[in-house]
């Protein structure tokens, strides 16, 4: 299979030459359901683009149980601590379903930016767009995290301002 065969938004509009420069950086990974892809605190060496399946991102605060903070679907990116040049992953990634992902080592992405700056800049911009879209769409997951342990019957939690409209969550 070729990376062009996946028709992911992150690759749309890239030239044949740019795809040729990206292809050697990517390894296709088959990820079985329930596999821990990386643990929180592990060395952040790779970035992943999910092609198929679902991955849950878990965060374990020092003072509580592990929480699912996000679910990643096809076309989304996870493990981006490596692209941020962070030493360790700040969360864990676990396959919720049998999945398929493209893995890019962080050092190889850095090398692409040095050797092919135009392609590197375009790809980094695409990563930023995918990541920011995911963060923008995580409102409901963050709300659920904030409400854990709270009195959900209080007036504070009965109303949430969503797009300028007050929405009643509980009756």
Q: Is residue 155 part of a domain?
A: no
Determine the 3-state secondary structure of 58 from DSSP.
strand
Give residue 121's domain range: 3-137
The pLDDT of residue 170 is: 44
The pLDDT of residue 78 is: 95
Q: Is residue 168 part of a domain?
A: no
The pLDDT of residue 31 is: 97
The pLDDT of residue 142 is: 57
Query: d(Cα 103, Cα 35) in Å, to the nearest integer?
Result: 15
Q: Is residue 159 part of a domain?
A: no
Q: What CATH number is attached to the domain comprising 120?
A: 2.60.120.10
Q: Could you list the mean pLDDT of each consecutive 10-residue stretch along the chain, which spans 171 residues?
A: 69 88 93 97 95 94 85 91 89 96 93 90 86 65 56 51 46 40
Q: How would you class 91 by CB atoms within 10 Å of its CB: exposed for 0-12, middle for 13-18, buried for 19 or more? A: buried
Q: Is residue 91 part of a domain?
A: yes
Query: d(Cα 14, Cα 2) in Å, to the nearest integer?
Result: 14
Q: Is residue 145 part of a domain?
A: no
| Domain count within the chain | 1
Element (H, E) at 21: helix 16-22
The pLDDT of residue 38 is: 97
Q: Is residue 60 part of a domain?
A: yes
Closest by alpha carbon to 67, among 148, 152, 6, 13? 148
The pLDDT of residue 28 is: 93
Query: d(Cα 132, Cα 129) in Å, to the nearest integer?
Result: 5
The pLDDT of residue 108 is: 92
* Range list of β-strands (E), the chain: 26-31, 36-38, 46-52, 55-59, 67-72, 77-78, 92-95, 99-105, 159-162, 165-168
The pLDDT of residue 47 is: 94
Q: Which residues contact 144 (CB under 8 A, 6 or more apart)?
A: none
The pLDDT of residue 77 is: 92
């Amino acid at each position: 299979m070729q990376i062009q065969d996946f028709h992911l938004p992150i690759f749309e509009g890239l030239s044949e030459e740019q795809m040729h420069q990206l292809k050697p950086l990517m390894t296709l990974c088959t990820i079985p359901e329930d596999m821990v892809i990386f643990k929180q605190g592990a060395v952040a060496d790779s970035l992943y683009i999910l092609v198929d399946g679902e991955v849950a991102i878990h965060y374990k605060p020092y003072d509580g149980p592990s929480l699912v903070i996000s679910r990643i679907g096809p076309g989304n990116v996870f493990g981006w601590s490596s692209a941020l040049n962070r030493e360790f992953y700040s969360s864990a990634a676990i396959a919720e379903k049998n999945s398929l992902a493209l893995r890019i080592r962080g050092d190889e992405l850095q090398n692409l930016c040095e050797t092919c700056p135009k392609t590197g800049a375009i790809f980094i911009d695409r990563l930023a767009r995918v990541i920011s879209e995911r963060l923008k769409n995580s409102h409901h997951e963050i709300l659920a995290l904030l409400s854990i342990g709270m009195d959900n019957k209080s007036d504070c939690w009965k109303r949430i301002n969503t797009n300028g409209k007050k929405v009643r969550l509980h009756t």
